[in-house]
Structure 1
């Protein structure tokens, strides 16, 4: 009876590949051995009403030792089938009773790590590897923690401004406190890139831009006051993957490059919106340039007349705008475009004038304006914008009329459906 119960469970299970496992057992003839007749020929699975017939008992008794091994394998897989699914789900932080220490629970509200860490990381959930801070010996120790409980990088947490690095594609940066060099951990806490570089970007499409041989220049001229703000001067940039294999040397890191658009060819691409680099393997690595792409798209949009329909088609569902004295407010795009179409078309058309005074800059989505689940995909797990994937291209038009200087701002968010006008700030109210 236990045997048939196990088979029923396997047939009904579809988590983490359990169904494919049971199908593989049947494909390899393992299951058919259990239901073979005394003569060794496969027979159909007996109906439930006849499961205790004497011939079947004889078969089971005759195959008891092989069956024990099979049952062990089945039980092993049944007990472990749900584990990979569970570990791939996010854990959520929770606080102890006096809100001084933080732990983590899984999606089923089970405590996976009891509260023991102080508030440190800005990560909203525990994905795979996380920067933590724990009180020890009267002080605080920072490190990285994996879901298996492995602790690495004690005192070697990579800091950005006043916060620790955020996991990106299952990797997180660290900085060796002895040498000051930067490296990369994978999700298991193993060193993916040794700490041999002055600095690294976060992982983007499995790629990392690395800096070597640079000199640190503090903004205050020295670091006596301990503010820690500095820039890098000189050095050489290269492009590596997460195995620390060099792909491009030298490499010119440009914030406008779309790493997710990488194309590798035997000959350079002739697309004017692409930036191409010669790789160390003799092939050509091409990336889309966001700024070139956007400039070309915007000029075509305006030159084609910028109709009301065209403006509405390239508008986000809700447009945010500045209005005195309320500050930032929002309105559904059909209503906003209907009220302001002529004004927007006139202001944007100014960029086609000879000697037009305007510029285009790139940034990420503002987390203090664009809040809620609607915009969650445009931010990482730490609530930081992702301009390397979803840039906001800002068109800033300077206007100087009779000594009065004003600026018009038009912000276009790059979405999966193209550039969308998402916020507007004009020299006069909308």
Structure 2
């Protein structure tokens, strides 16, 4: 009886913790405010999920980019004679006046309860938490948002201009030169430094610390401080491995349901013969047997295949089924849900071979190949794949026939 009582108490404790966590997560989701547009004023404000106005429309569009307001957002508010920029909390508190982090006309968006700010006096980047407190001081030249509790940052670099003939005071495109690339955690501790030649497509959410015997065909490891190692999946290698070992072999299957699991439920196909359609709803057999075939993905002398990482198309952000793949500012969450595009380029022989003078001399050391001189692009086909919570899925197809 005593053991039974202990088990009951343990169950109640675990159950209470689970319900509390679920309640907090659900509460945050339900407490989100949504941006709305007052067309008469051409200004933006925020409503709750029931449509009640929480903040009247008073913000200018371009620096008020958060579609969803969870805890803290960047805003630009017009005043009588000018405007002011700051970070806004739901309780109305304004912090970080004139300290918005802006890169390529885009402001930052809350990520993992933090948002970047820029100290204009020293030209450095730091982080505010969801309550507007500066939890990481502005000491970095550059820093990425936090993903899975880590951020890549640059420190001790010098301002320079892309065009080395111009000085930084008369420069159209500023950049950073030198410095140390570091990996920091959310306590502002440097986990690793002197980061060089990192992959472009890192799965930060796959982090393993001091883990041996990983599959090096898709994993890479960073040597950190104090003898620690940090390992991550390279998304591009992972996708290529999945495509070669799972996707292509599965196309030969006769099991319709197994095939359907390869494709996103909102998969769209554009074909000169089939038009625009969703093969889940019609023409599934035609789609698989004539369009998505292993043979189509085999290169030859006049057919090139390329794989690249791309952003999920912005137009998809309006569809409920895609909502989870975009952040609070409506930007593709490519660090968590990367998208890969496979292009198939078909070439035909030129009617008349080109001469060397026909090619633009972008680089004095570059010369066109015999193939470039004698062949030209006829058309291109595109296959787009999205990494979902259930693995990679084909989401969009454009083919000639």
Q: Same fold (TM over 0.5)?
A: yes
Of stretches 100-109 and 308-317 in structure 1, the one that deviates more from structure 2 is 100-109
Cα displacement (A) at 1:219:
5.0
* Selected match of 1:299 from 209, 230, 244: 244
Change in 2 beyond 3 A, CA 1:239/1:356 = farther
State the SS of the aligned residue for 1:202: coil
Q: 1:414 aligns with which of 380, 383, 387?
A: 387
Number of matched residues?
A: 346
Counterpart contact for 1:257–1:288, Cα < 8 Å? yes
Cα 1:396–1:249 shift into 2, 3 Å: same
1:158 equivalenced with 2:101 (yes/no): yes
Provide the residue aligned with 1:376 in structure 2.
323
Q: Deviations over 1:208-261 (max 9, x none)?
A: 110123455545665899895455444321111122111122334433110011
| The 10-residue stretch of structure 1 (297-306 or 120-129) with the greater mean CA deviation from structure 2 | 297-306
Equivalent-residue separation in structure 1 for 2:248 and 2:58 (angstroms) = 61
* 1:177 maps to 2:120: yes
**Separation in structure 2 between the aligned mates of residue 144 and residue 113 of structure 1, nearest angstrom:** 14
Does structure 2 conserve the Cα–Cα contact (< 8 Å) formed by 1:131 and 1:164? yes
Deviation sequence 1:384-407 (CA, Å, 0-9, x none): 111111111111223223345232
Give the drift of 1:305.
6.6
2:332 equivalent to 1:388: no
Give the direction of change, closer, same or farther, for the CA distance of 1:101–1:408 in structure 2 (3 Å limit). Answer: closer
CA distance, structure 1, for counterparts of residue 151 and residue 274 of structure 2: 43
Of residues 222, 233, 236, the one that matches 2:180 is 236
User: 1:314 is matched with which residue?
Assistant: 262
CA gap 1:236/1:334 in 2 versus in 1, 3 angstroms: farther
Contact 2:30 2:49 in 1 (8 A): no
* Structure of higher RCO (CA pairs closer than 8 Å, 6+ residues apart): 2
Report if aligned partners of 1:266, 1:283 keep a CA contact under 8 Å in 2: no
- What per-residue deviation string (whole Å, max 9, x for no partner) do you get for residues 6-45 of structure 1? xxxxxxxxxxxxxx8xxxxxxxxxxxxxxxxxxxxxxxxx
Larger radius of gyration: 1
Aligned pairs for 1:144-293 (under 5 A) are 144-216=87-159, 218=161, 222=166, 229-252=173-196, 253-265=198-210, 267=212, 269-293=214-238
How far off its partner does 1:100 sit? 5.1
Secondary structure at the aligned position of 1:281 is classed as: helix
How much does 1:411 deviate? Answer: 1.0
Asked if 1 retains the 8 angstrom alpha-carbon contact of 2:84 and 2:98, the reply is yes
Q: Check whether the contact 2:99–2:120 (CA below 8 A) recurs between aligned residues.
A: yes
Could you tell me which residue of structure 1 aligns to residue 346 of structure 2? 399
**1:140, distance to aligned residue in structure 2 (A):** 0.9
What SS does the aligned partner of 1:377 have? helix
Q: Which runs of 5+ in 1 are unaligned?
A: 1-19, 21-80
Structure 1 vs Structure 2 CA RMSD: 3.5
Q: CA 1:270/1:344 → structure 2, altered by over 3 Å: closer, same or farther?
A: closer
Show the counterpart of 1:143. Answer: 86
> Which is strand-richer, 1 or 2?
2
Cα shift at 1:348: 3.7
Note the residue ranges of structure 2 that are not aligned, 5 or more in a row.
1-15, 17-22, 350-374
Q: Call closer, same or farther: CA 1:213–1:346 in 2, change over 3 Å.
A: same
TM-score by length of structure 2 reads 0.75
- CA deviation vs aligned residue, 1:370-391 (integer Å, no higher than 9, x gap): 6410110111111111111111
Cα distance 1:97–1:375, how it changes in 2: closer, same or farther (>3 A)? closer
Indicate conservation of the 8 Å contact 1:278/1:285, yes or no.
yes
Alignment partners' CA distance in 1, 2:33 and 2:205: 28
Q: Any conservation in 2 of the 1:318–1:332 contact (CA below 8 Å)?
A: no
